[in-house]
A and B are shown apart, each in its own frame.
Chain A
Amino acid sequence: MSDPSYEIVIGLEVHVQLQTATKLFCRCSTRFGAPPNTQTCPVCIGLPGSLPVMNRQAFELALKTAVALNCEIPAFTKWDRKQYYYPDLPKGYQISQFDLPMSQHGYLEISDAKGAFAPKRVGILRAHLEEDAGKSMHDELAGKADSRIDLNRTGTPLLEIVSQPDMRSPEEARAYLTELKLLLTYLGVSDCNMQEGSLRVDANINLHVATPQGTVATPIVEVKNMNSFRAVERAMAFEATRQFDVWNDTRISLGAPGGHKTTRGWDEQAQVTRPQRQKEESSDYRYFPDPDLAPVIVTDQQLDAVRASLGELPAALRDRLQTERGIDAYDADVIVNQGRAFVDYFSELADIGGDAKRASNWMQQDVLRVLNERDLTIELFPISPASLAELLKTVQRGELDTSRARDVFNVMAESGDSAAQAMQRLGIQAVHRDELRDLCRELLDANPNVVADVQSGKEKAIGALIGQAKRRNPNANPNQVRQLCLELIRQQGSAQE
């Protein structure tokens, strides 16, 4: 889909709500979904004489994230007032960070397990801690004359994470977001729920077009209103094509007359971007240090403690699963991307079952299928790792073929039974090898023509016996029957010589 005559340049701005019980500067609850205007106080609705005080937990979660994003953490940071008028911003300014953000110059590594793009580092320009605004709702009933304002969200802690314009395709943009979300989830700093607005994405995109006179940049467009990572990917693909068309029509480059930055909104229904009102110039925000809030000093000891508290992060975990468990990069990626609890389940299953590759396959196919079908998380999955390991061992011993094992698995997932109970319920008995050997011997004796065919090189002839074996004992494992028959024929052959 990429046109070789231009390069796509994308930078992303992510706002993520930090998982605190209270707001950034007051002790109102941050709970989502409360009735409108029931979680506000003089501080967050900006009444005169109220004083903001920084939420310790919010700062610590922000710090943890910044460290995990490999950011430099300056020893001194402060908060500033960003002035603008909007009905959902009751103070007339947002408390944010301007020239001395709490972290900057980090990076996040992205890759694609299927090799859609080469692994790369996406630079993080800065990550700073600020407060959220309220919500305005259009009142359709009142003839669109009024907007209704709910200030419950006002003052909720947000971490704004600004990337460098380092992404070169819609796929890379999506991979960055997926990896960032995974990291935030592993850190436990945010639930990243896009439906509830805990994670919001704005994108800046333009093109570097190759011309005979050299590379020319097209005007930058900020794209808003993207409600899923897939929407981001599609909006970026749409914008790239649109900007290239506009370039071919107008030849207006970045900074030329008419080449200033514009804002567009993604229309999910129509799958297009549409122009939005122009943003005020950033100099119009008239930032100045908030006189009510004390600056924060971060010490080296504090940073060491944060580093020690991070736990194992996704990138390191993928590597470890490959080296320690011997599964390949793609499998490790799928498992790690399901979250920490899924990895823990896998590790336990592989430990008890003793076969990481088999555990990985079952987790990716069967466990994930049930989780998706029932909209469950692994924490609520009805089969314990020990029970599943029991089933996998039965398969490994050859006592159960995979399709029968899958039936047992489904019963276990449905009923919460152990593997043994589920097999009993299905009337499956693991067939002992000796018993099966006897059965095979009888079949071979009764079918000398099959034996002759196999001896003359037609191994496929065994197929006829498998069906008979199944009829005599429905629990007979087809693979095992095949193997045993071949073994017996070979023994016969060598005994005759």
Chain B
Amino acid sequence: MSLTRQQIVKVSLLARLRLQDDELDRMTHQLDQVVSYMDLLAEVDTEDAEPMAHAVEQTNVFAEDHVLPSLDRESALSNAPKRDEQCYRVPAVLGD
């Protein structure tokens, strides 16, 4: 299996990454190598292996429904590139 440059263009759009032409070439090459590595794994005989839905062996890890203190607002907003007294500010969201 190999990745096409067009697939990289689509994935970068979904990831909101604006890649230059040379970066697209480089990413296509590098990601193709990563994905090709999976081909190597595909050669392993998995006839008797049970399909796996999740990589974690643990199950049923729960927390009780008791409120703990949240971050104070100043800390929560402190990393925001743009903010006001109460909220994060982002470029206008259209559509809704």
A-side interface residues toward B, CB under 8 Å? 20-22, 27-29, 35-42, 45, 53-59, 76, 78, 83, 85-87, 100, 136-139, 144-151, 276-277, 284, 286, 289, 291, 293-297
Contact = CB atoms under 8 A, between A and B. Distances in A.
Contacts of B56: 291, 293-295
B70 interface: yes
Contacts of A58: 65
A85 B16 contact: yes
A147 B67 CA distance: 29
Nearest to A52: B63
Contacts of B60: 294, 296-297
B53 interface: yes
A36 B88 CA distance: 10
B7 to A, nearest CB: 12
Interface residues on B, range: 35 or more
Contacts of A22: 65-68
Given A35-B73, A76-B53, A100-B53, 12 more contacts: A20-B65, A28-B68, A28-B70, A38-B70, A39-B70, A40-B71, A146-B90, A147-B90, A148-B84, A148-B89, A151-B76, A294-B58
Interface in B57-95: 58-68, 70-73, 76-77, 82, 84, 86-95
21 contacts: A22-B65, A27-B67, A28-B68, A28-B70, A35-B73, A36-B87, A37-B73, A37-B77, A37-B88, A53-B63, A56-B62, A56-B64, A57-B65, A78-B53, A86-B93, A87-B93, A136-B96, A145-B92, A146-B91, A149-B89, A289-B55
Nearest to A34: B70
Given A149-B87, A150-B87, A289 B54 contact: yes
Given A29-B67, A294-B59, A40 B76 contact: yes
Contacts of B87: 36-37, 137, 148-150
A291 B61 CA distance: 13
A39 B73 CA distance: 8
Interface in B26-77: 53-56, 58-68, 70-73, 76-77
